[in-house]
């Protein structure tokens, strides 16, 4: 095992925040009991939300698919236990917006009966077939990016030469990957071997920060026990070494071209926890039902917990002994890139890798911001080589085009710039704002383009109809005299229409009688105008 043989290529910038790993990394992973109620969000991954395939009242088994992947970039979701679907509707979820999202509520029956599971015989499968089978399993990247794994396992156009396992875990506080590698290195590596088979990768690397010597030893031991040719590479502890692009740069010196994927340069990166869940999916036939979550910070018993997806976060907090009295709130994910949890009722979803109980001592309130003095500390800290203060100036002025020209979309939102800013400016918040505004503008641009097309088509259609009508009239005029207002047929239609309006009015009054009492003259006039228009329209229709 060569832990140091590989020449590392440092990425620029980076920071050294306090690690706070020891709080939670010394305790073995703890399992969770069966709870009575689970809430499974249909959107737990990047891409389209899953489409429900069971109804309220249906009985489901553990591992049964309850939401199917909707489209290519999507992932299935599964029932965490056996029971009954009691509701499908919006529920609070762990998301920075704090907005509710569509979830399925499952009331456990206590039997925890499983569907029949069959391992996948991956050795005989062509790479593409394995990816297709995995699409049913709901696997997503568990490092936080929650990108559907089956998409990443499809054969890439140029082939994959290097598979990188990401065990860097550079965010402070989080230790779930550390514990996983210490305790389940064997299974994790077996998953990695399947990945390598599927991708046809020649090299298998595991990047891991040098603050996790026990995990390094465990993986190295498991690799030699399995006879798996791979390199376990210790990288210096420096945030954000666990960023996919940064880890690729560290280990290979290659850069993923802007706007492209790592597969374009023949590299694929998976989180170690994803490799582990892939092992379970393939070798055991079990879809993604659980994940390991670090619960730490101001809690009584910090540690790592293996918990079913859909478990309300408040249950998980109870497992960790509950929050200490001086805690202030909860962070989901690490303190560098995570977000504040708005409601602990929200369930654990595939992207929830860490929960941190905050307090004023651990996370002092942000000091008031001062103007930017262009000191350049942010540029020194930026791992991507951006000029964050320039992007900030333009994002703040809502000058999105300019911010874009400073490569706003190459920003990985790692938070290094905000961390080091002596003026305490929330830089990343400005970038997130600018990015989502640009995305919204693009959405509305698409919508308005579609609207223009439909409007233009309507204009064309009306013109065509007018011409056709003119031609018809012209032909008819030759045959018989034009219809007049006292045409008995028109009067009959008018009477029918009036009757219908009366009925509708009556129906409306029945529903909403308030409207008649407070008719202002303006409204009455409006009604009269509508009547006039309607009659005009009615006569036009009859012609």
Partner 1 sequence: MLNALFVMAAIGLVLGAVLGWAKAHYRVEGDPLVDKIDAILPQTQCGQCGFPGCRPYAEAIAKGEADINRCPPGGEAGIKQLAELLGVDPKPLGEGLVSKPKSVAIIDENTCIGCTLCIQACPVDAIVGASKQLHVIVADRCTGCELCVAPCPVDCISMRIVPERLDSWKWRYPVFPIRPVAATLPAKGAS
Partner 2 sequence: MIGSPYVLSANNSVRLTMTKVMAALLPGTLAHAWLFGPGIWVSLLLCGLLAIGFEALALLWRGYALKPFLSDGSVLLTAWLFALSVPTLAPLWLYAIGLLFAVVVAKHLYGGLGQNPFNPAMVGYAVLIISFPTYMTQWPAPVQLANHAPGLGEAFNLVLGGGGITPDAYTTATPLDTLKTLTRAGKDIHSTYAQPIFGWIGGKGGETVAMLYLLGGLGLMASRVITWHIPAAFLTAVALTAGGLHLLDPARHAGPLFHLFSGGVMLGAFFIATDPVSACATPRGKLIFAGLAGFITVIIRVFGGFPDGVAFSVLIMNVAAPLIDAYTQPRVYGHAGGKEPSQ
Q: Which residues bind partner 2 (CB under 8 A)?
A: 11, 15, 17-18, 96, 172, 245, 249, 255-260, 331, 333, 335-340, 358, 363-364, 366-368, 370-376, 379-380, 383-387, 389-390, 402, 405-407, 410, 415, 418-424, 426, 428-429, 432
Binding mask 36-75 for partner 1 (x = CB under 8 A): -------x--------------------------------
> Whole-angstrom Cα distance, residue 85 to residue 98?
24
First-to-last C-alpha distance (Å) of the chain = 89
CB 239 within 8 A of CB 15: yes
Residues 6+ apart with CB under 8 A from 435: 408, 409, 411
> Whole-angstrom Cα distance, residue 511 to residue 364?
56
SS3 151: helix
| Interface region with partner 1, contact rule CB under 8 A, candidates 110-118, 302-310, 311-319, 523-531 | 523-531
**Residue 449 found at the interface with partner 1 (CB under 8 A):** yes
From 398, 405, 464, 466, residue interacting with partner 1 (rule: CB under 8 A): 398
| Interface region with partner 1, contact rule CB under 8 A, candidates 144-152, 216-224, 239-247, 496-504 | 496-504
**Residue 258 found at the interface with partner 1 (CB under 8 A):** no
> Whole-angstrom Cα distance, residue 441 to residue 209?
40
Length of the chain: 543
Size of the site for partner 1 (CB under 8 A): 55
Compute the Cα dihedral for 233, 237, 304, 113 and give only its sign. negative
From 324, 501, 516, 528, residue interacting with partner 1 (rule: CB under 8 A): 501
List, in sequence order, every residue forming a beta bridge with 102; answer none if it has no partner: 90
From 474, 511, 513, 514, residue interacting with partner 1 (rule: CB under 8 A): 511
Q: Min. distance of Cβ 144 from partner 2 in angstroms? A: 12
* Partner that binds at residue 543, options partner 2, partner 1, none, CB closer than 5 to 8 Å by kind: none
Q: 323-335 b/e with 16+ CB inside 10 Å = b?
A: beeebbbbbbbbb
| Interface region with partner 1, contact rule CB under 8 A, candidates 129-137, 179-187, 238-246, 442-450 | 442-450
3-state class percentages of the chain: helix first, strand second, coil last, to nearest 5: 40, 15, 40
From 53, 87, 225, 504, residue interacting with partner 1 (rule: CB under 8 A): 504
* Partner that binds at residue 406, options partner 1, partner 2, none, CB closer than 5 to 8 Å by kind: partner 2
Specify the residue, 173 or 430, whose C-beta has the smaller distance to partner 1: 430
Per-position DSSP letters for 451-462, written without gaps between them: HHHHHHHHHHHH
DSSP at 242: T
Per-position DSSP letters for 496-529, written without gaps between them: HHHHHHHHHHHHHHHH-THHHHT--HHHHHHHHH
Q: Min. distance of Cβ 261 from partner 2 in angstroms? A: 11
**Residue 339 found at the interface with partner 1 (CB under 8 A):** no
Q: Is 347 left (phi over 0), alpha (psi -120 to 50) or beta?
A: beta
* Partner that binds at residue 214, options partner 2, partner 1, none, CB closer than 5 to 8 Å by kind: none
From 56, 373, 440, 491, residue interacting with partner 1 (rule: CB under 8 A): 440
DSSP at 300: S
Give the closest residue to 199 by CA, choosing from 128, 144, 252, 137.
128
| Interface region with partner 1, contact rule CB under 8 A, candidates 132-140, 240-248, 356-364, 434-442 | 434-442
Specify the residue, 211 or 358, whose C-beta has the smaller distance to partner 2: 358
**Residue 541 found at the interface with partner 1 (CB under 8 A):** yes
Tracing tokens 């910070």 back to the chain, one arrives at 297
CB 112 within 8 A of CB 243: no
Binding mask 364-393 for partner 1 (x = CB under 8 A): --x-xxxx----------------------
**Residue 345 found at the interface with partner 1 (CB under 8 A):** no
Return residues touching partner 1 (CB under 8 A). 43, 93, 95-97, 99, 101, 366, 368-371, 396, 398, 425-426, 429-430, 432-433, 435-437, 439-441, 443-444, 447-452, 454-455, 457-458, 497, 500-501, 503-505, 507-508, 511, 515, 526, 530-531, 533-534, 537, 541
């Amino acid at each position: 095992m060569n832990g140091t043989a590989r020449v590392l290529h440092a990425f620029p910038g980076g920071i050294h925040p306090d690690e706070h790993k020891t709080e939670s990394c010394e305790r073995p992973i703890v399992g969770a009991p069966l709870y009575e109620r689970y809430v499974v969000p249909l959107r737990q991954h990047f891409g389209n939300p899953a489409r429900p395939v069971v109804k309220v009242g249906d009985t489901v088994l553990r591992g049964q698919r309850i939401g199917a992947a909707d489209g290519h970039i999507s992932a299935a979701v599964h029932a965490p236990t056996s029971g009954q679907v009691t509701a499908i509707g919006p529920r609070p979820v762990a998301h920075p917006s704090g907005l509710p999202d569509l979830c399925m509520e499952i009331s456990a029956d206590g039997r925890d009966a499983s569907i029949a599971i069959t391992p996948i015989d991956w050795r005989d499968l062509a790479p593409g077939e394995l990816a297709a089978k995995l699409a049913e399993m709901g696997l997503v990247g568990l490092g936080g990016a929650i990108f559907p794994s089956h998409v990443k396992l499809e054969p890439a156009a140029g082939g994959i030469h290097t598979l990188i396992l990401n065990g860097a875990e550079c965010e402070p506080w989080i230790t779930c990957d550390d514990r996983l590698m210490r305790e389940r290195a064997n299974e994790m590596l077996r998953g990695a071997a399947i990945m390598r088979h599927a991708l046809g990768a020649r090299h298998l690397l595991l990047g891991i920060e040098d603050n996790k010597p026990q995990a390094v030893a465990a993986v190295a031991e498991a690799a030699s026990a399995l006879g798996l040719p791979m390199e376990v590479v210790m990288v210096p502890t420096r945030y954000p070494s666990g960023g996919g692009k940064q880890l690729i740069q560290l280990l290979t010196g290659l850069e993923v071209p802007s706007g492209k994927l790592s597969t374009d340069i023949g590299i694929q990166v998976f989180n170690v926890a994803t490799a582990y869940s892939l092992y379970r999916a393939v070798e055991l036939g079990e879809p993604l039902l659980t994940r390991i979550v670090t619960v730490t910070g101001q809690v009584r018993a910090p540690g790592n917990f293996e918990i079913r997806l859909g478990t309300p976060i408040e249950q998980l907090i109870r497992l960790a002994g509950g929050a200490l009295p001086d805690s202030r709130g909860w962070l989901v994910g690490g303190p560098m890139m995570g977000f504040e949890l708005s409601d602990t009722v929200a369930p654990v979803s595939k992207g929830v890798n860490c929960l941190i109980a905050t307090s004023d001592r651990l996370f002092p309130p942000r000091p008031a911001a001062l103007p930017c003095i262009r000191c350049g500390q942010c540029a020194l800290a930026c791992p991507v080589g951006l000029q964050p203060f320039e992007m900030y100036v333009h994002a703040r002025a809502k000058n999105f085009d300019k911010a874009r020209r400073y490569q706003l979309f190459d920003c990985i939102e790692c938070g290094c710039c905000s961390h080091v800013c002596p003026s305490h400016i929330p830089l990343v918040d400005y970038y997130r704002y600018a990015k989502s505004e640009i995305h919204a503008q693009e959405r509305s641009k698409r919508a308005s383009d579609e609207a223009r097309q439909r409007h233009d088509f309507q204009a064309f259609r009306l013109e065509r109809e007018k011409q056709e009508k003119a031609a018809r009239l012209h032909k008819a005029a030759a045959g018989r005299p034009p219809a007049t207002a006292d045409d008995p047929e028109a009067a009959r239609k008018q009477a029918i229409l009036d009757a219908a309006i009366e009925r509708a009015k009556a129906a409306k009054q029945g529903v909403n009688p308030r409207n008649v009492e407070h008719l202002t003259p303006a409204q009455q006039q409006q009604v009269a105008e509508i009547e006039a228009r309607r009659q005009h329209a009615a006569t036009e229709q009859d012609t």
